[in-house]
Structure formats: C-alpha cells, structure tokens
Structure 1
Amino acid sequence: PFDYGLLFIGPPGSGKSMMAQRLPGLLPPLTSQELLETSMVWSVAGLIERGALTRDRPFRSPHHSASMAALTGGGLRAKPGEASLAHNGVLFLDELPEYGAVMAQTHLALLWRVCFEFHRYV
C-alpha cells in the first residue's frame, strides 16, 4: 500500500498545489482490495451511487477552516471525514500554517491516529 507522507515547500505560485493534484494520477492503479475499500467509504459518505465502484485514487483537499468532524468524521449523522475519504489516495492540507500551530498539531495528530486505525481495522 501507499503509506508515504510528502511535504511541499515553496513560495506562492511555484506549483505546489498543482503538483499535489497530479499525485493520484502518478500512483499505481487501485488494487482490487483498495478499489473495494475506497468505494465502500465513498458509498457510506453518499458520494457514489450504491453498488458503484470508484476506479480513481481519491484526492481530498479540505479548507483550513474545516472542523475536526469534517476532517476526522462524525457529526450528528456520522459520516466519514476527509481523512477517511482520502484513504488509498491523497489528503492535501494546503497552507498548513493557516491552521495555526496548535490546531495544525492537533489536526495532524488526530489524522495520523485516524488513518492508522483505519488501515489497521479495515
């Protein structure tokens, strides 16, 4: 499985976001297992029709103002968050300093835990 983290650093306009958006196309095709996992998560979130399969690796880019529930999942009608929706693909956190130091550390720690647990129990 693809379990790597990347950090793009550079001045505004240098192509960091464009490069990140291209990552899913550079990764190997989804395996049968990854295809089923990804499609199940997206189906639960209501992003694909029941029974359909998504063949593309996910690319998720939540806004820095996204709530913890939006990033990690949950809410009144529990739905997968951005971390789960990016499973087997790319979770792009653009302009990380905009999150604020404490919030960024909290987000990253929780996202790491959620991603680790998701991989562990799926």
Structure 2
Amino acid sequence: MISLATFPTLFPGFGGPIEIIWWALLGLKLVALLDAALRPRGVFLRADKLTKPGWVLILAAFSLSHIFQGVLSFFGLFGIVAAAVYLVDARPALRQATGRGRGGWGIRRRRGPRPL
C-alpha cells in the first residue's frame, strides 16, 4: 500500500503538538540569544539594563538546557521566562537607546503634504 503524505512524514522533527511547541520555544530562546549577541555592548549600558555578557550567558545557558534537558525541566521553564523578559522588557529599551524607537521595520512616516 502507498503511504500517504502526512505531517510527520513530511516534517520528521514535528511529530505531534508537543514537538511543535518544543521547536517554537527553542526558536523563541534562539531569537532572544541572537538579538542579544548582535547588539553593541554600549547599548546595554545606555539602556540601564543587565550587561551584554550577562544576557548572552543567561540566554545561551538556558537554550542549551532546553536542548539537552527539555522544556519542562527546571531550567527549561526559567529559560522561557528569561527569553520572554529579554524580548518584552530589555529589547524595546535597547532599541530606544540606539535611536530606533517605535518606527517599525525602518519605515519612516512622512509628515506634511505629499510632493507632486
């Protein structure tokens, strides 16, 4: 009999809802880690937040614990909270400290009448 193309056969790492949640939370942690690693060190001081090595160390440790221990481990749950705190609290303050406040994707709003 011919096997049907089901979701687990098309995407081998995504067998069920638990695996999809696992990958989504790992992606959340990796996005926070990558954002913290690519920001300049001085921005963290200007924004009056935890230092860059502190954030990178915390997010890297919790990302590794997510991979090796799982989401529902003690460190896995703290890692979700740490990534959420970075993305919700620290990242907007860092963006504001660099001068890129609430503009959104680099699009500038034009003020005044449109040119002809």
Higher fraction of helix: 2
- TM-score of the pair, normalised by structure 2: 0.28
Q: Which has the larger radius of gyration?
A: 2
